[in-house]
Chains A and B, each alone.
Chain A
Amino acid sequence: MSEFNRGRRTVPGADTLGSSWWWDRIAQGVVFLGGISAIVFIVAIFIFVAQQGLGFAIFELDKGVFLTSPEWRPTTEPEPVFGGLALIVGTASVTGLAMLVAVPFSLGAAIFIGEFATGRAREYLKVLVELLAAIPSVVWGFIGLTVVNPLIIDLFNVPVGLTILNAGVILGLMAAPIMTTIAEDALKAVPDSYREAAEALGATRWQVIRQVVLPSAKNGLVAAILLGVGRGFGETMAVLMASGHSVNLPTSPFDSVRALTATIAAELGETARGSEHYKALFSIGILLFLVTFTINLLADVAVRGRRKRR
């Protein structure tokens, strides 16, 4: 009994704040600051963009013209025309083609890495894919200019190779690695017991993948594709270099186009701060922001859906 009481009076650690306690506190603080500052930066950027362009976008910009006119003549005096249709179609067509390229590539690669490759081969492939993802976009643009461009001219016998086709292929190759990585994560999250149970039923490898693995990884795969789309929308440098950068409503993949992002990148440096042109470019920025925000939100919802079902 007395043992017990003595024990109680000196419970170790009850009110001594040891070094591990302090480290815990410090770590919490650092993590908190990191998290908060990320949020602060994002909010600050958003406020900045909104401040520069939102008023103009809402009150001055003629939305009818912006959404329906293909005329982007921001510097014509005295009446500049801010028609965004050609730019929107340019971005959409390049991104669309990029997805046609990237989705089969990345899903195929993810299925191969996740389901078929084993041991060493698998590790090497994963590292390779991550390396590909790290190639800077200007390098991809360079490849578009110097490799894909002459290739298209030769193959299809057309005068210019800096077209939707070029930019789409480049963008597709560029988005594929990151999509592969995310899709592979989604496949890896499918428990092996599912595969084993399906194989025990007599399913072939492909049947297992088709009937069990892909359906249960569906949300993650959708998220991978959506993030790829977001990447395509937001990409600037490679598209600027490979698309031909001419304002044009395209009628075929062999037409040059100009993307929303590339327009901002190319023109912002030459506008007077606060001018209509400057604000119009920020309006484009807001549009891009809204689109990518929506896409990321959808991707997030898709991933969440996956978690909830478990």
Chain B
Amino acid sequence: MVETPLLERPKKLTVENLSILYGDQVALNDISLDIRENEIFGIIGPANSGKTSFLRAINRMDEMSDDMLVRGKVALDGCDVRSWRNVYALRSRIGVVFPLPVGLPLTIYENVALSPRLRGVRNKVELDEIVERCLSRAALWDEVKDRLDSLGSLLSGGQQQRLTIARALSQEPDVLLLDEFSIAVDPVTTMRIEDVLKELREEMTIVLVTNLVQQARRLADRTAFFLGGELVEVGMTEDLFRRQVKDQRTTDYLEGRFG
């Protein structure tokens, strides 16, 4: 399947005329795009361009805050996310990694076992197996395998971020949303996580919001450029970086001539 050219693959996420408002402040203005299966879709853009808001609309995190209003349509596998009666089932198919690692106040093991437990896995052997697999894939297993029972919050920042990635993987998600995951992670660890993401592409669709233009270049199949709530441009990452752009502002941003 991965051999199939990108734009011939099925659409995993379809976004049509998506607008997001906080009160009367527009955070995202009438955006339409689609994200294909097994693609890493990069989103770049300066602060306040609406990247995080975009991610929050995908798994209906807006419903947690009263002041966030979402208009338009986001569809997962062609099915409008608003029409999912069970929002929890929707969210469990979508893994999220936040900019700053949120180690739940649980042990390392419990952090990863939480989501399988929530979906009803009780068998200890099976849980052990899931925990080991997810931690290994997040490139963390070797560092923590002897201290699975210590608190997740005692890990270093970079380790905690890998723990949250392991936790997201434990959901066995179809879609992984990453919001500036490397903001609190050192460059070496960042590279290791990037390698992990390249492998994960075989199994899931990844939306990668990043403030590192070069990170999008290294990882993303396609990249979208958001600016002040507008989708300025979306295209094959190679094309954008070969300056085959439609909008001058994209070049300016990629070359760091901005603001």
Contacts and interface: CB of A to CB of B under 8 A. Distances in A.
Interface residues of B, number: 30
A207 interface: yes
19 contacts: A193-B98, A195-B64, A196-B61, A196-B98, A197-B98, A198-B104, A200-B59, A200-B61, A200-B91, A201-B114, A201-B115, A201-B118, A202-B91, A202-B115, A203-B115, A203-B118, A216-B104, A216-B105, A309-B105
B88 interface: yes
B105 A199 contact: no
Given A197-B96, A197-B102, A202-B92, 4 more contacts: A194-B102, A199-B91, A200-B96, A212-B104
B164 interface: yes
Interface in A152-200: 190, 193-200
B118 A207 contact: yes
Nearest to A191: B102
Contact of A202 (B66, B119, B153): B119
A118 interface: yes
Nearest to B66: A118
B241 to A, nearest CB: 31
Contacts, number: 67
A194 B119 contact: no
A204 interface: yes
B68 interface: no
A146 interface: no
A202 B88 contact: yes
Contacts of B102: 193-194, 196-197
A68 interface: no
Contacts of A310: 153
Nearest to A213: B105
B106 interface: yes
Interface string B71-98: 0000000000000000011111111101
A211 interface: yes
A180 to B, nearest CB: 23
Interface of B: 59, 61, 64, 66, 88-96, 98, 100, 102, 104-106, 114-115, 117-119, 151, 153, 164, 167-168, 171
Contacts of B93: 202
A200 B63 CA distance: 11
A305 interface: no
Contacts of A194: 102, 104-105
A203 B106 CA distance: 15
A216 B151 CA distance: 12
Contacts of A199: 61, 64, 91
B164 A197 contact: yes
Contacts of B89: 202
Given A201-B118, A211-B114, A215-B105, A196 B88 contact: no
B5 to A, nearest CB: 32
Contacts of A215: 105-106
Contacts of A197: 96, 98, 102, 104, 164
B27 to A, nearest CB: 17
Contacts of B167: 201
Q: Which 4 A-B pairs have the closest CB atoms?
A: A202-B92, A216-B105, A197-B102, A200-B96
A262 to B, nearest CB: 43
Contacts of B117: 211
A230 B100 CA distance: 41
Contacts of A195: 64
A211 B117 CA distance: 10
A30 B117 CA distance: 55
A197 B161 CA distance: 13
A110 to B, nearest CB: 18
Residue among B61, B93, B105 with the most chain A CB within 10 A? Answer: B105
Interface string A285-310: 00000000000000000000000011
B61 A198 contact: no
Nearest to B102: A197
A287 B94 CA distance: 58
Contacts of A309: 105, 151
Nearest to B170: A201
Nearest to B116: A201
A201 B105 contact: no
B91 A201 contact: yes
Contacts of B119: 202
Contacts of B95: 200
